[in-house]
Amino acid sequence: MWERIVNFFTADGFAYELLLSFLPLVPLLRPRKWAALRIAGSVVSLILLACATYPYCVGNNAETFTASLWYVALAVLTLDAVWFCFQGDLWNALFLSMSAYVIQHMHYQFSNLWGYVLGRCNVPEGNWLHIFTYFLSMLAVFTFCYFFFTRRLEKEKNFRANNIKLLLSTTLIVLVLIVLNLFTDREIERENMGSSYLHLCHIFFGLVCGFVLLDSLYTNVYNRKLEEDIRIIQLLWQNDRRQYEMFRQNLETMNIKYHDLKHQLGLMSDARRNPAGQKWMNEALDSLNVVSMMQKTGNETLDVVLVQKHLRCDAAGIQFVTVVDGSLLNKMDDVDIYSLFGNALDNAIECLESTEDSEKRTVTLTVRKVGDMAKIQVENYTPAAVRIVNGFPQTTKQDKLSHGYGVKSIAYIVQKYGGIMNFEANDHNFILDIMIPL
């Protein structure tokens, strides 16, 4: 009885290998509600079904066509399980399922390569080296696929595999590869060609096909994500340009009107001897002097940004400290300056708006020359800890799909001018450092 149970669960290792092949993809998986129960139920169901049907569909010298249908059916069931357990549409589930299927195929071929080498060295079947190289192959392939493929999309967990044509063509190639691999393996086993060069060529063909399929899938998804990011950032830049022009024109009009009004009030205060009127006139003159004393940084665009942020900080009760040499930025495009400083300061101000302690509601901006570089630094207090992942701060907003583009916009602008940037978060203090070559 026990032997039957053991034989049942060890009838075929393919189902286990396929499920384990999702391990390199774990960072890309976004579980649904009750994910633990869903995953457990799906795994148990797939294993039981695979073990129960394997002897009749693949084992016992079953026809190659029947065996091929079994592998295809298992692929379809795996797709359904992924869709059932994890968030995303059908195409995302297909992308993940095909990725796992190809990873399993690469592990299978890589372990065959070790078997070929051990066979040429006359190491008998069942030797501990075969078992060791099997698990070593699994570890090597899983590690390679994680660092070479998964990490491309790891920081973009909300990726979308929406190239339907590529997904369908890849799926068709994988299905054909399953049939060809099964047919070739059986022929090699039937003709006892396990140590032949034909078998070696078959192994390398499988490894190369797997690598090319994964690379095309992940490169396409990654490039499409970049294209989508660039398109959104370009729209944001266009909006920034409109806002900048509008605010700059309004500021020029305000300066003209305030300048004229200042002289008119001065004349009125000289003419009136009423103490109450004199006091009102002096207060009005003091208020207008604030406008006339707005900081001149040496860069008109930066002046506009600072006026805008000063007004926002004043309204929110935030102290805005600036030590700025705007002349260092005169070679930058106006909209790039507006977007870079606007996004950097907006993020700091939004963080401080949720800070209750008035003594900590301070944002500091410095722009100074360091060697042959212009150093831009924005520093502010943060009430909550900020996670830095892959060099970028993670947004704390609930809608992560619609946020985070401010930081990406800053990154694109810094990269455009050949600069570097660094985020630092420690002891409730958040610092953005940017270095741009002069």
Encode pLDDT of 262-301 as tens digits: 555 555 555 455 555 555 555 555 545 445 445 677 777 7
Helices (H), 357-432: 405-416
Shared domain for 304 and 401, answered yes or no, is: yes
Angstrom distance (rounded) from CA 99 to CA 282 = 74
Residue 142 lies in a domain: yes
Shared domain for 214 and 332, answered yes or no, is: no
Q: What is the tens place of the pLDDT at every residue in 344-355? A: 888 888 888 777
70: exposed, middle or buried (C-beta count within 10 Å: 0-12, 13-18, 19+)?
Answer: buried
Angstrom distance (rounded) from CA 58 to CA 52 = 11
Residue 324 lies in a domain: yes
Shared domain for 9 and 150, answered yes or no, is: yes
Residue 262 lies in a domain: no
Residue 250 lies in a domain: no
| Region of poorest pLDDT, from 9-13, 144-148, 350-354, 362-366 | 9-13
For residue 189, pLDDT beyond 80? no
| Run of H or E residues at 340 | helix 334-353
Residue 263 lies in a domain: no
Which of the listed residues 212, 232, 252 is the one where a domain comes to its end? Answer: 232
Shared domain for 139 and 37, answered yes or no, is: yes
Shared domain for 217 and 81, answered yes or no, is: yes
Residues in Cβ contact with 1 at an 8 Å cutoff, skipping those fewer than 6 apart:
none
β-strand pairing of 429-437 with 373-381: antiparallel
pLDDT at residue 268, rounded to an integer:
54
Give the structural domain span for 322. Answer: 295-438
Shared domain for 185 and 37, answered yes or no, is: yes
For residue 130, pLDDT beyond 70? yes
For residue 14, pLDDT beyond 60? yes
Residue 76 lies in a domain: yes
Q: How many domains does the chain have?
A: 2
Residue 284 lies in a domain: no
For residue 326, pLDDT beyond 70? yes
Shared domain for 215 and 320, answered yes or no, is: no
Residue 285 lies in a domain: no
CATH number of domain containing 363? 3.30.565.10
3-state secondary structure of 393: strand
Shared domain for 158 and 39, answered yes or no, is: yes
Which of the listed residues 200, 232, 264 is the one where a domain comes to its end? Answer: 232
Residue whose pair of structure tokens reads 């590529």 in the numeric block: 166
Q: How many helices and strands, by DSSP H and E, does the chain display?
A: 13, 7
pLDDT at residue 203, rounded to an integer:
83
CB-facing half-sphere around the CA of 249: CA atoms within 13 A:
5
For residue 17, pLDDT beyond 80? yes
Residue 119 CB neighbours (<10 A): 16
Shared domain for 188 and 327, answered yes or no, is: no
Shared domain for 203 and 308, answered yes or no, is: no
Burial 356-388 (b: 16+ CB within 10 A, else e): eeeebbbbebebeeeeebbbbbbbbbbeeebee
Angstrom distance (rounded) from CA 260 to CA 242 = 28
Which of the listed residues 180, 203, 232 is the one where a domain comes to its end? Answer: 232
